[in-house]
A and B are shown apart, each in its own frame.
Chain A
Amino acid sequence: MTSLEGRSGAVDVVPSRDAEADAFEAELRPLLQEAVRLATGMLLSAVEAEDAVQDACVRAWRRRANRRQGTDLRPWFLGIVANQCREVRRGRWWRVVRSDKPGDSSDAHGDTSALIDLRDAIARLPYRRRLVIVLRYYLDLPFDEVAAAADCSIDAAKALAQRGTADLQRALAGEQR
C-alpha cells in the first residue's frame, strides 16, 4: 500500500503519478495566490517569494502522505510556505541579494518613506511575529486560521500579533529596539 492509497481509501490500483500530480495541482491551484502573498509578506522580495512558493509546492508534493485525511489543505500548505520562507532567510548566506529587476531599489516602487519604514520594520520582526502579522494583517485571516497556519494556539497567535504590532509601532515611532 502506498501513501496515496492510504489517503484515498483501500484500493488495489494506484493512479499513475501523472494523474496523482494532476489532482494535487488542481487542489493546490486555488491556494497559490494566497501562498504568494504570504511569501511576499515574509520575504519582501518578489523573486524570493516566487521561489519559496515553488519550493513549497514541491515540498508539499513530497510530503502529501503526511497530511491527515480529511484535513483542510489550506493551513497545511500555508504552514509549508511559511517554513520555506524561514529556510530561504537562513539559506541566503552565500547568495547575492538579487534585485527583482535592474535598478530596483526601495523607492523604485514609488513608495513613500513611511511605507519603506514599515516594510523595514516588518523585515526586522522576529520570524513568528512577522508570520502572524502577515497572516493577520496582510492575508486578513481570522485568528483561528492564523493559529492553524502558524502552528500555535489562538491565544498564542493573538499574543504574537499584539507583540508584533507593538514592535511595529515602536519602530515607526523611531524608537530603537
Chain B
Amino acid sequence: MSVNTEEELNRLVHQAIDSRLPGIGVEQRVLEHARERITREPAPRITWMPLGRGVGGAFIALAVIALLGGALGLTLSLRNHSTSTPAKTALPILPTSPPATPPVVVPPTAAPSTALVFTPTAVSFATASDGWTIGQVCNPSTCALAVYRTTDAGTRWMPVHFSAKVDLGNATLNIRAASSADVWIWGASDGHGLLVATHNGGVSWQSMAVGNALVADVELAQGTAWAVTTCSIPKPCTATLFSQPVGGGAWSDLGALPAAVGAPIDNNSTIPLAQLVRIGDDAWILDANQQGPALVRSQNNGRTWMSLPLPCTVGATAILGASSPDHVMLACGNEGAFPAPQEVWTSSDGGSKWILRSREGYNSGFSPPAANVGSIDSGGAPIGLAVLSTTTAWMANDREDDLVTHDGGVTWIHAALPPDSFGGGGGAEGIGFVDSQHGWTFVPGGIWTTSDGGTTWHLLPGITVPAA
C-alpha cells in the first residue's frame, strides 16, 4: 500500500483508527468515573495559586512546607483511608490557611527557571545510599535520555554518560543496580531489544546482543544478573534466559524459556511484559505477554522449570513478589473502569497453592465474597510489588497511593503521599526496598525514599539540568 496524497492519508488514517474506537457511551462513562474519583479525593488542604495570582498563599504554603519538610524534602506519615464511599458533601468554603497536621500538598519542583527538570522513568537502589535512575530531560521541543547515580541516598545525583541510541517516544526502559558500580539497563526501543551493563559506575558500558528479542526483566541473586527476553510476532525469536556475574564478565545463555512463558507478545505490542523474581536458587517467571498469563518456577537455579497455577482472572494485570522461596504474593488487577477490579493472593509453598487475601471491585469476573478476605481501597491497578516478609508488603498502583499491608495482604493502608505527586492519574511509577527499612517510590515529579520502613517518606531534591 502506498500513500500519495494528503487526502488519501487522511482517509486511511480514519479507517485504521476508527475500528479501535471505544463503543457508544464512552464519554458518559469517562465523566462518571472521573467524577467519582474527584469526589473521593480529599479536599485540598492547600491550593496552589498560579504565579502572580496567589503569591501570598504560595508564601504561606511554602512556609508550612519549609517548617514541615526540612532541607531535604517533606516527611509524611501513614494515613488510613477508611472512606470507601465517595464523600458527596463538599466543603462550602475551601480553607485559606494551612492545616495543622500533615498530609500536605507538595509544591511544584522549585527548579530555577533556566533549568530543565529530570523526569525519572525507572529507579533502583542497591543499598540505602547507592541508587541509580534513568529518565528524560525535556525542553519544549525535544527530550533526551539521561542517567544519574547517587552515593549519598539521593542528596546529590551525578550525571552518568550513557550513549545508547534510544527512541524515547517508543522506548520502555528499566534499570537495576547491584552497587554503585554495577548496573543494568534494559528494555525495548522502537521494537529493538536493549541490554547494557556497566561495572565501573558508568565510565563504560557493554552491550549484550539479543537478536530479535526484547529484554523484559533483569534480576539479581546468587552473585549473578539474569536477563529474561521475550519475542514479538513480527520478529520471531526464542525467548531466552541470560546470565552475567554481578561484577562483570561474559554473558552466558541459560537456555530457552519454558514454552508456557515463551510465547511472543501479541496484540501488536512491542513492549516486553515478563517479570523475573529471584530468591536464592529459586526463581519465578511471570509471563504477561500473552492474553492468558503464565507462571513458572525453578528451584535449582534455572536448570529446570515447572508450571504453576495463576489464580488471577485471564487478561488481568499481574505482578509477583516473594520474600522467601515459600512465601509468594501475587497482585492482579483489571485496567478499565474505576475502581479497577483488583485481587491479592499469597502462597506459602512457592506458588503451588494460592489463598485470596483481599480484593476490590469483584464484579468483573473476579471471585465472589468470601470469609477472611479483606478489601483494597485503591482504584488503581498494581504496577509494583515489594514483598518484605510474610506479613509486610508494599504495592504501587497506577492511579492511587502506594499501599502497605502488615497482615499478609488482608488489610491495605495508604501511604500519605500527596495525590498529584503520583502522576497525572494519581499513581506511582514504581516501588522498591533494599531491606525492611529502606525503600523508594517515584513519580514523574520526583523520587521519595524511606529509612524507617515506610512510616515516613522524604521527597528527594529534584534533579535539574542547566538549560543549554
By a beta-carbon cutoff of 8 Å, the part of chain A in contact with chain B is 1-4, 6, 13-14, 16-19, 21, 25, 28-29, 32-33, 36-37, 40-41, 44-51, 53-59, 61-63, 65-66, 68, 80, 83-84, 86-87, 89-99, 102, 104-106, 109-111, 114-120, 122-130, 133-134, 137-138, 140, 151-152, 156, 165, 168-169, 172-173, 177
User: Given B3, B34, B384, which contacts A57 in the complex, CB threshold below 8 Å?
Assistant: B34
Chain A positions within 8 Å of B93 at CB level: 13-14
Chain A positions within 8 Å of B319 at CB level: 94
User: Given A16, A95, A122, A140, which contacts B10 in the complex, CB threshold below 8 Å?
Assistant: A140
By the criterion CB–CB under 8 Å, are A106 and B268 in contact? yes
A-B contact pairs, 16 of them (CB 8 A): A1-B54, A2-B94, A3-B48, A6-B49, A19-B90, A29-B27, A36-B26, A46-B20, A51-B336, A58-B426, A65-B50, A94-B318, A94-B384, A95-B398, A137-B13, A152-B141
Chain B positions within 8 Å of A48 at CB level: 335
By the criterion CB–CB under 8 Å, are A40 and B268 in contact? no
Query: A95 to B335, alpha carbons, bound, how many Å?
Result: 9
By the criterion CB–CB under 8 Å, are B48 and A65 in contact? yes
Chain A positions within 8 Å of B288 at CB level: 94-97
By the criterion CB–CB under 8 Å, are B54 and A36 in contact? no
User: Given B9, B269, B383, which contacts A137 in the complex, CB threshold below 8 Å?
Assistant: B9
- A-B contact count, CB below 8 Å? 276
By a beta-carbon cutoff of 8 Å, the part of chain B in contact with chain A is 1-3, 6, 9-10, 12-17, 19-23, 26-27, 29-31, 33-35, 37-39, 43, 47-50, 53-54, 56-57, 88, 90-94, 96, 121, 140-141, 167-170, 172, 174, 190-191, 234, 265-271, 273, 275, 288-291, 293, 315-319, 334-336, 338, 381-384, 398-399, 419-420, 423-427, 429, 444
By the criterion CB–CB under 8 Å, are A1 and B20 in contact? no
User: Given A3, A83, A86, A97, which contacts B269 in the complex, CB threshold below 8 Å?
Assistant: A97
By the criterion CB–CB under 8 Å, are A21 and B9 in contact? no
Q: A6-B53, A57-B34, A95-B381 are in contact. Are A17 and B90 (CB under 8 A)?
A: yes
Chain B positions within 8 Å of A4 at CB level: 94
By the criterion CB–CB under 8 Å, are A114 and B268 in contact? no
By the criterion CB–CB under 8 Å, are A95 and B26 in contact? no
A124 to chain B, nearest CB (A): 6
Query: A11 to B275, alpha carbons, bound, how many Å?
Result: 54
B421 to chain A, nearest CB (A): 11
Chain B positions within 8 Å of A14 at CB level: 92-94
Q: A17-B91, A96-B288 are in contact. List 15 more A-B contacts (CB 8 A).
A: A1-B53, A2-B96, A3-B47, A32-B30, A41-B17, A50-B336, A51-B336, A55-B424, A61-B34, A65-B47, A89-B170, A92-B269, A111-B15, A126-B168, A168-B9
Query: A110 to B34, alpha carbons, bound, how many Å?
Result: 32
Query: A111 to B13, alpha carbons, bound, how many Å?
Result: 12
Residue of A nearest to B4 (CB): A169
Query: A160 to B9, alpha carbons, bound, how many Å?
Result: 15
By the criterion CB–CB under 8 Å, are A93 and B271 in contact? yes
By the criterion CB–CB under 8 Å, are A87 and B423 in contact? yes
Query: A37 to B16, alpha carbons, bound, how many Å?
Result: 12
By the criterion CB–CB under 8 Å, are B424 and A56 in contact? yes
Q: A110-B19, A119-B17 are in contact. Are A3 and B31 (CB under 8 A)?
A: no
